[in-house]
């Protein structure tokens, strides 16, 4: 199982699709377009930020816990499906979901009780996944690192109103804080092999040379892990370059 990780706008979904096509595998995408809670969450963030500015230090986002449990439920289902075959691709990890819940709790968007309940639920899910397959942890985590400026440009390009800093200025602090949490996530992640992709340097969506280089990096790591043979990797490269 290959899992993509990265902040909003880093290119996870695009690279997930590219990898699935390259490896002739099944992609599992984060539920965004069919997620009825996500717009509510962003609106709740804006409301909570305004209340805090007005002096209500205990203001929470009423949709934070709902959103994170929505994602957790979907991610759990996708991981169970992805475990059934080899080299399936997930475009976000269940471990990132836990990071988002922690950040929302630290920010005051969720309560300590909600966080404890979420952690208990996550623990039960991970135990079930481990019982279902002793090797359930992602064989490879691919973390796409991008800067704040790159993230904002890509958010603007895809055009979801509720993600725009021009619509909600409080998102500037939210996004910058999120980058710091991703740095901590990267530093502490030990659950599988980790490959870092420089998303500022390599435009694997628009630039074919960059795309080939990134796919080479991932396939070389899969060879090292024993998930691809050298012959398979060479055949894939030959097909792409020719």
Residues annotated as binding site for substrate?
30, 42, 68, 92, 97, 163
Binding residues: 6-14, 30, 42, 68, 92, 97, 154-158, 163
The conformation of residue 110, written as its DSSP 8-state character, comes to: S
Numbered residues of the known binding site for ATP: 6-14, 154-158
Distance CA 175, CA 149 (A): 11
User: What is the tally of helices (H) and strands (E) in the chain?
Assistant: 9, 5
Instruction: Label residue 162 exposed, middle or buried (CB < 10 Å: 0-12, 13-18, 19+).
Output: middle
Token digits of residue 21: 């096509």
Dihedral class, residue 147 (left if φ above 0, else alpha if ψ from -120 to 50, else beta): beta
Catalytic residue flag (residue 56) = no
Q: Which of 58, 91, 183, 200 is labelled catalytic? A: 91
Which residues are marked as active site? 91
């Amino acid at each position: 199982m290959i899992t993509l990780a990265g902040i909003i706008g880093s290119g996870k979904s695009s690279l997930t699709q590219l990898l699935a096509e390259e490896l002739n595998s099944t992609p599992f995408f984060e539920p965004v377009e069919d997620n009825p809670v996500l717009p509510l969450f962003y609106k709740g963030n804006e409301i909570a930020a305004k209340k805090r500015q007005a002096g209500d230090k205990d203001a929470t986002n009423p949709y934070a816990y709902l959103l994170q449990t929505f994602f957790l439920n979907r991610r759990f289902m996708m991981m169970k499906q992805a475990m059934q075959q080899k080299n399936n691709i997930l475009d976000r990890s269940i471990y990132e979901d836990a990071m988002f819940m922690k950040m929302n709790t630290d920010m005051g968007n969720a309560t300590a009780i909600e966080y404890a309940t979420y952690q208990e639920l996550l623990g039960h899910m991970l135990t079930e996944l481990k019982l279902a397959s002793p090797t359930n942890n992602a064989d490879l985590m691919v973390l796409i690192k991008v800067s704040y400026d790159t993230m904002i440009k890509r958010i603007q390009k895809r055009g979801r109103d509720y993600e725009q800093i021009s619509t909600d200025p409080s998102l500037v602090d939210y996004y910058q804080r999120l980058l710091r949490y991703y740095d901590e996530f990267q530093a502490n992640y030990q659950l599988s092999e980790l490959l870092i992709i420089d998303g500022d340097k390599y435009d694997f969506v628009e630039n074919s040379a960059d795309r080939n280089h990134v796919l080479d990096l991932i396939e070389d790591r899969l060879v090292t892990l024993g998930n691809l043979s050298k012959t398979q990797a060479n055949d894939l490269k030959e097909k792409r370059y020719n």
